[in-house]
Amino acid sequence: MSEFVRICSEGELPQAGVVQEFTVAGRALCVANVHGKICVLDGTCPHEGGPLGEGSIEGGKVVCPWHAYAFDPCTGENEEDPEIRALAIEAKIEEGELRGKL
């Protein structure tokens, strides 16, 4: 059974329009702030393993820095190729921390 674990403190969250990589239990996570909404994706792009947390936000999507695959930051969906989907991580802010269900 998975449980919510600490990703970062609220003060460490990326600013609006920015993605940031955090490592939790040896796993890279991409934390995105899209217009003030915080979403978490697995940090590895499902296309060819690029680092999503080193990407950018363009048009409300998280864009992989390697091949520009764009993912919905909250669902992981890719409009261009529905077969390639990033894993969305359930997350919440609780007691001053961002926590994700890993």
pTM reported for the whole predicted model: 0.95
Q: How many domains would you assign to the chain?
A: 1
CA atoms within 13 Å, Cβ hemisphere of 25: 11
Single-letter amino acid, residue 87: L
> Residue 27 falls within a domain, yes or no?
yes
Per the structure block, which two tokens stand in for 96?
Answer: 């001053």
**CATH number of domain containing 63:** 2.102.10.10
98 alpha-carbon distance from chain centroid: 12
Range of the domain at 60: 4-92
> Residue 97 falls within a domain, yes or no?
no
At residue 12, does pLDDT exceed 90?
yes
> Residue 100 falls within a domain, yes or no?
no
> Residue 86 falls within a domain, yes or no?
yes
Using one digit for the tens of pLDDT, what is the confidence trace for 16-72? 999 999 999 999 999 999 999 999 999 999 999 999 999 999 999 999 999 999 999
Using one digit for the tens of pLDDT, what is the confidence trace for 86-102? 999 999 999 999 999 99
pLDDT confidence of residue 1: 54
pLDDT confidence of residue 70: 97
